A and B are shown apart, each in its own frame.
Chain A
């Protein structure tokens, strides 16, 4: 009986989180942590942080990844489905309703709606510039690394066939990050070995 209830509890918990967090991503994480760790006591805090590390490392939508990971940890794939459906359901229903009533044609042809959206569009662009600034600060981007985002942004913007594909830079970033860090670590160990040999030589 008890195992039956956890699926509906998982679903209900994530529905509540999905329905009330605006802005997605990080805003959701603290709510999920409170619900899963403190209110329901399903998972210990350290373990939640481990799951969060995994969810962040994987591609895809962060809130979905963490709900899948929590569900998976509790009840395997069935738990994942219950939790993820909970996260998805509220925004799916809200957006579907909006899509049905607020069609692209209506936005374009209705004078009131069209005027409102003409004001909104430039603000949306600004709301995307803001995270560029805040993320750059949080990632400690300095003068030595700032060329990377600049070049990536300009090349994607260029609309040149293969070169403007964002996937290319995700793959290159990962590969070069790995190669660079491996070289750094090797240089470090080589220096340590050198030092040791010198000390022993003396």
Chain B
């Protein structure tokens, strides 16, 4: 039953997604690309779409995958997709409600304790590893191409985009639009 599996996956994402959107990516990748609901390519496309639209990446991916996964699995009526996206979006935020309601007083009271400070001190380097793993996972033939020419173009685009984001104040959306334009000019 694809809906139950989607619920289980997004529950895990909502419950263990520490460190913000980028750190959640490797978790999402594992839960969603792993079972084969969407391809590696589509996953990257969702990240791209998330960058260009408002809202957190956790929600964006839940909504898109919730819609795409049931249709990919053989449901033909788009309403099943809409149901899937409603379910996934609600499930990914459900842990937030429960945790804020039941743990926020505890955390507020103990936020200077050794336990909580220690946990977050330990999480900090892990979160960086999580983001880096998402980048590593996406550096593959599906995203960079398999022919020499396309790989070179992809590497140039990636280095250009990275340098632009790190060293200038140009907005990431513009970087994506520019690389999309480059793709159109080179490949079309």
Q: A57-B107, A98-B53, A119-B180 are in contact. Are A124 and B47 (CB under 8 A)?
A: yes
Q: Is the CB of A122 within 8 A of B143?
A: yes
The contact size tier of chain A is 35 or more
User: CA of A133 to CA of B103 in the docked complex: distance in angstroms?
Assistant: 32
Q: A65-B96, A136-B128 are in contact. Are A88 and B59 (CB under 8 A)?
A: yes
User: CA of A62 to CA of B99 in the docked complex: distance in angstroms?
Assistant: 12
Chain A residues near B92 (CB-CB < 8 A): 60-61
Q: Is the CB of A152 within 8 A of B129?
A: yes
Q: A60-B14, A145-B125, A174-B122 are in contact. Are A121 and B143 (CB under 8 A)?
A: yes
Q: Is the CB of B100 within 8 A of A58?
A: yes
A104 nearest CB across to chain B (Å): 4
Q: Is the CB of A133 within 8 A of B180?
A: no
Binds B, one of A1-9, A161-169, A190-198: A161-169
Q: Is the CB of B179 within 8 A of A119?
A: yes
B116 proximal to A (CB < 8 A): yes
Q: Is the CB of B120 within 8 A of A57?
A: yes
User: CA of A57 to CA of B120 in the docked complex: distance in angstroms?
Assistant: 8
Chain A residues near B14 (CB-CB < 8 A): 59-61
Chain A residues near B71 (CB-CB < 8 A): 103
Chain B positions within 8 Å of A, measured between CB atoms, are 12, 14-18, 20-22, 24-27, 30, 38-39, 41-42, 44-45, 47-60, 63-64, 67-68, 71-72, 78, 81-82, 85, 89, 92-93, 95-97, 99-101, 103-104, 107-108, 111, 114-139, 142-145, 150, 153-155, 157-162, 165-166, 171-173, 175-176, 178-184, 186-188
Q: Is the CB of A178 within 8 A of B115?
A: yes
User: CA of A157 to CA of B136 in the docked complex: distance in angstroms?
Assistant: 7
A-B contact pairs, 14 of them (CB 8 A): A21-B54, A81-B97, A91-B59, A107-B41, A123-B176, A125-B44, A126-B161, A127-B162, A127-B176, A128-B22, A156-B26, A169-B129, A170-B130, A181-B121
Q: Is the CB of B20 within 8 A of A25?
A: yes
* Neighbour of A123 across the interface among B20, B53, B115, B161, CB < 8 A: B161
Chain A contact surface mostly: helix
User: CA of A122 to CA of B142 in the docked complex: distance in angstroms?
Assistant: 10
Q: Is the CB of B59 within 8 A of A58?
A: no
User: CA of A178 to CA of B122 in the docked complex: distance in angstroms?
Assistant: 7
Q: Is the CB of A126 within 8 A of B122?
A: no
Q: Is the CB of B101 within 8 A of A121?
A: no
Q: Is the CB of A132 within 8 A of B128?
A: yes
Q: A57-B107, A84-B96, A123-B176 are in contact. Are A95 and B49 (CB under 8 A)?
A: yes
Q: Is the CB of A80 within 8 A of B104?
A: no
Q: Looking across the interface, which residue of chain B has its beta carbon closest to that of A65?
A: B96
Q: Is the CB of B56 within 8 A of A64?
A: yes
Chain B residues near A141 (CB-CB < 8 A): 124-125, 128
Q: A123-B179, A127-B165 are in contact. Are A80 and B101 (CB under 8 A)?
A: yes
Q: A96-B63, A99-B81, A117-B183 are in contact. Are A167 and B16 (CB under 8 A)?
A: yes
User: CA of A102 to CA of B59 in the docked complex: distance in angstroms?
Assistant: 17
Q: Looking across the interface, which residue of chain A has its beta carbon closest to that of B78?
A: A100
Q: Is the CB of B118 within 8 A of A156?
A: no
> For B56, B160, B184, which residue has the most chain A Cβ atoms within 10 angstroms?
B56
Q: Is the CB of B187 within 8 A of A120?
A: no
A138 nearest CB across to chain B (Å): 9
